[in-house]
Structure 1
Amino acid sequence: MAVRALQPRGRFDRRSWFGRLRGAAGGVVRSSPSRFAILVFASLILVTTLLLTLPISRAGEGRGTPLHDALFTAVSTICVTGLATVDMATHWSPFGNAVIFIGMNIGGIGVLTLASILGLVISRRLGLRAKLMAASDSNPSRVHAGPVAERQAVRLGEVGGLLATVAVSTLTIEAVIVAGMIPSVLAKGYDFATSLWYSAYYSVSAFTNTGFNPNPAGPVEFVDDYWFQSLLMLGVFLGSLGFPVIFALARSWRTPHRWSVHVKITLTTTTILFVAGAAAFLLLEYANPKTYGHLDAGPTIYQSFFMSMMTRSGGFATINMHDLYGSSQLVSSMLMFVGGGSASTAGGIKVTTLAVLFLAAFAEARGAPSMEAFGRRIPRDMLRLSVSVVLWGATIVAVSSIVILQITKAPFENVLFDVISAFATCGLSTGLTADLPPSGTYVMAATMFMGRVGTVTLAAALAASQRRQLFKRPEERPIVG
């Protein structure tokens, strides 16, 4: 008894079940933060699935949702994808909508940031490896051994500030968008309580790049309200930039020369893709009578920019994706595959990955010994990592497409579009996903999970350890091209 009395208060007995559980969890956090992050994400999906299968989560009929639909919705919610096999506006009860609403916010925080926060709670402090994982998406070399020459968007000493920025920026941006949307929803004849709910739902769905709709008609109901659509675009844009970029802009928005290469590349590539995507949709769809052919010049230009933003990962649509010309579907698939910025609520291979590949091609064409951007040299190992990300992403899309094609026998262009949308956690659909059989929903759910967790992080989690090779083999060059 005397020994117990001398123990400091607030500490758990290591022999208790909670102490052993906490010790085991802390060991996982310290040994492999990436595996812990995936475990946390999978656990959140499991809990959300169980909640959505309850009868209280379904509207009207008093019986629960089938497991495959509940699992698919849970994965789409936590992975902030936006694809659905049920009518999101009518299928769920207030309790089910609350689960989805909370799940979108949790998923929007991001798998690595969430894992770091939970790791902090468990171990009471962030170890060096956990800090590396928290700062990882600001620098894609998170799993690469060796020094990094260029400045990082978020340094190790700033991880605490990054985590605070995640929470503050999320709440602030969503609150501002909610306040701006309420008048537009009220103008459609809804009462204040419904307007507040719809605005909050759309705000969260936009900033997290999910794309779920709370009303049966979706954004089509606001197709003539450019203010409402502009707020949707703003939320999607800010969510797709990435928290490290928001963190850097919040600190030094008046001094662009102090921005890191990551921030500059993200902003530059995002702007280029946004404008190029809008130009492509304008050129390809201006004469399509099912999409923009019946619109005047001004609305056509605006809707082209809206579509360009949403195909990057937003998931909202004012037209039927099935009505797009095949050329426009291909452009949409390309934009979805690229996605948004690192450590953002967007999916895809990320704009920095695409930028590194183009910088490498440009340097090779000039015969330059290294890649350069904004007066900084980018190590060549970043090219190797970028190629790995693209190959892993392309492999996931290819395998999933083959399996879905075999299951559904649907047209290839529709399958490819929806599979890329699932991998890139975009949420746009040609209508294929809603008609999938249970086996197809499981395949698409796995595709969404792998796309959201991240190909590099998934590969790092599956690797038992990184080996160091203390010798080099003789060099020989194969014929390429």
Structure 2
Amino acid sequence: MLTLPAPARRLPRRRGIAPAQAIALGFGAAILVGTALLMLPFSSRSGVWTNFVDALFTSTSAVCVTGLIVVDTATYWSPFGKVVILLLIQLGGLGIMLFAALIGFALARKLSVRSRIFAGTETKSTGVGDMKRTAIGILITTVIIEAAVATVLFVRFWTGYDYDVGRAAWHAVFHAVSSFNNAGFALYTDSLIGFVSDPWICIPICIAIILGGLGFPVLRQLRKEFRNPLHWSMNTRIVLVATLVLLTLGTGFTVVVEWDNPGTLGPLDPASRMLAGFFHSVQARTAGFNSVDTSLMHDETWLVTDVLMFIGGGPAGTAGGIKVTTFAVLLFIMWTEFRGGTAVNVFGKRLSRSVHREAITVVIVALAAVMSAVIAILAMTDLDLDRVLFEVVSAFGTVGMSTGITADLPAAAQLILVLLMFLGRLGPLTLGSALALRQRQTAYELPKERPAIG
């Protein structure tokens, strides 16, 4: 009897790790390393071990450039612990994959295709061949802006507040890095309330926050074609216009509502009130510093701040939120529907239909995450909805502003905020892609049908 050979067994195809998965794993690894370092006795000023939840929360807040804290940065952490936080902020701001690509370039003098793709996913760059210049350009831009802001702050701390050279330099560098990366960590127990009337401190920090929040693609195009606005991309135009509008509206609303509030702007002179209102509006772009007591603001200000924090800054930068481009796309879609149009046109160009779906998906996922967290924390505590919503949106938007309830939350609620900070930094679609096991493509389309809307 003739026995036929068994058919060769087909080996399963090995799948490489997707860029989004690599970014999520990179951020997760950095958070765990930071947690381990912050737990060590010499990371705390008292020399005791820091419990896991506090260390994890602080590490996540630093890597995800948020700024929410459960222990006082100024008094709890030792110099070593503060340096660890500063490094985690810088690492999270640049992006884990971009950092890895830069290290690989320094060692091997070249970027692999995989490293370029990873860095491109993090920086939203187009074109694999351009990643080498993009990575170097991002690093140079970061160093220049942080150095410039640190220089101004150093001079002010040294000459205006009688800091010695070492202390002035340390405070200048820390707050320059924290501001450009939209982190919001401060070396003062009351954040920057002590400098509420000092434009030489507040304005440089605001400039760094705004530049970081614009996003690297916008900064790059402005550097190359600042005098040729007709050549600006749709992304650059949307980010700049939306940033200007939101900053103006946020400043005006805060100043008007809080003008006579004795707990915030009331005790200040008119010029300082305007400065504090502008400063608060800038912080809502996901920075997280505060120059007045946020917990004493009116409920209306909290709600508007919630909206600003949820929107966030520009894509591919150091800001969080759903991004101003996502918010603007939804507005343009709505305006087109109101006018009965068929195509969404933005600044003389037609918007791709895939962008419609992406924007809607981002907003739905973000709203689901925020609402789920609010419901869960309300069930765990007896806190008011206003404060819980503010805290949750601040965590998801990687902002860091707080009404003062973070440290008093139960450990389970703090872990929910940790997950929100992680989700907010990576972005709903990026995290969803990282968690997806595979992508399925169908070879057919189903017949169309239109349900009733509204």
Task: Calculate the TM-score normalised by the size of structure 2.
Answer: 0.92
1:69 is displaced (CA, Å) by: 0.4
The letter for the 2-side match of 1:237 is: I
> Which residue of structure 1 lines up, in the alignment, with residue 90 of structure 2?
105
> Which residue of structure 1 lines up, in the alignment, with residue 161 of structure 2?
188
SS of the equivalent of 2:350 reads strand
> Which residue of structure 1 lines up, in the alignment, with residue 303 of structure 2?
330
Instruction: Decide which of 172, 175, 182 is 1:199's aligned counterpart.
Output: 172
Identity score, percent: 37
> Which residue of structure 2 lines up, in the alignment, with residue 368 of structure 1?
341
1:250 is displaced (CA, Å) by: 1.9
1:208 is displaced (CA, Å) by: 0.5
Deviations 1:102-161 (A, max 9, x none): 11110110245346557878999656676455334665xxxxxxxxxxxxx744432222
Matches within 5 A, 1:6-85: 30-59=16-45, 61-85=46-70
Deviations 1:165-187 (A, max 9, x none): 11111111111111101122122
1:293 is displaced (CA, Å) by: 2.3
Q: Confirm whether residue 157 of structure 1 aligns to residue 147 of structure 2.
A: no
Larger mean CA deviation between 261-270 and 113-122 belongs to 113-122
Task: Calculate the TM-score normalised by the size of structure 1.
Answer: 0.87
Instruction: Decide which of 440, 443, 454 is 1:467's aligned counterpart.
Output: 440
- Measured in 1, the distance between the counterparts of 2:358 and 2:110 equals 30
- Measured in 2, the distance between the counterparts of 1:189 and 1:385 equals 51
- Measured in 1, the distance between the counterparts of 2:14 and 2:49 equals 35
Q: State the number of aligned residues.
A: 441
Larger mean CA deviation between 250-259 and 375-384 belongs to 250-259
> Which residue of structure 1 lines up, in the alignment, with residue 396 of structure 2?
423
- Measured in 2, the distance between the counterparts of 1:261 and 1:444 equals 34
RMSD of aligned C-alpha atoms? 2.2
Conserved 8 A contact 2:22-2:118: no
> Which residue of structure 2 lines up, in the alignment, with residue 223 of structure 1?
196
Matches within 5 A, 1:225-264: 225-264=198-237
Return closer, same or farther for 1:370/1:129 CA change in 2, 3 Å cut-off. Answer: farther
Conserved 8 A contact 2:276-2:292: no
1:298 is displaced (CA, Å) by: 2.5
> Which residue of structure 2 lines up, in the alignment, with residue 169 of structure 1?
141
- Measured in 1, the distance between the counterparts of 2:86 and 2:24 equals 21
Matches within 5 A, 1:116-131: 117=102, 131=116
1:323 is displaced (CA, Å) by: 0.8
Conserved 8 A contact 2:313-2:320: yes
Return closer, same or farther for 1:189/1:280 CA change in 2, 3 Å cut-off. Answer: same
- Measured in 2, the distance between the counterparts of 1:330 and 1:262 equals 28
SS of the equivalent of 1:279 reads helix
1:291 is displaced (CA, Å) by: 1.3
- Measured in 2, the distance between the counterparts of 1:280 and 1:356 equals 24
1:254 is displaced (CA, Å) by: 2.3
Return closer, same or farther for 1:376/1:329 CA change in 2, 3 Å cut-off. Answer: same
1:371 is displaced (CA, Å) by: 1.1
The letter for the 2-side match of 1:51 is: L
Deviations 1:68-100 (A, max 9, x none): 100100000111100000010011111111111
Larger mean CA deviation between 289-298 and 408-417 belongs to 289-298
Conserved 8 A contact 2:197-2:276: no
Q: Confirm whether residue 208 of structure 1 aligns to residue 152 of structure 2.
A: no
The letter for the 1-side match of 2:140 is: V
SS of the equivalent of 1:314 reads coil
- Measured in 2, the distance between the counterparts of 1:213 and 1:281 equals 22
> Which residue of structure 2 lines up, in the alignment, with residue 17 of structure 1?
none
- Measured in 2, the distance between the counterparts of 1:170 and 1:257 equals 26
> Which residue of structure 1 lines up, in the alignment, with residue 8 of structure 2?
none
Instruction: Decide which of 282, 287, 302 is 2:255's aligned counterpart.
Output: 282
Deviations 1:379-419 (A, max 9, x none): 12211110100111111111111121122221111010011
Conserved 8 A contact 2:31-2:59: yes
- Measured in 1, the distance between the counterparts of 2:194 and 2:207 equals 18
Return closer, same or farther for 1:217/1:190 CA change in 2, 3 Å cut-off. Answer: farther
Conserved 8 A contact 1:48-1:103: yes
> Which residue of structure 1 lines up, in the alignment, with residue 6 of structure 2?
none
| Runs of 5+ unmatched residues, structure 1 | 1-26, 140-152
> Which residue of structure 2 lines up, in the alignment, with residue 6 of structure 1?
none
SS of the equivalent of 2:282 reads helix
1:469 is displaced (CA, Å) by: 1.5
- Measured in 1, the distance between the counterparts of 2:122 and 2:81 equals 31
Larger mean CA deviation between 267-276 and 246-255 belongs to 246-255
Conserved 8 A contact 1:40-1:115: no
Return closer, same or farther for 1:110/1:353 CA change in 2, 3 Å cut-off. Answer: same
- Measured in 1, the distance between the counterparts of 2:123 and 2:33 equals 29
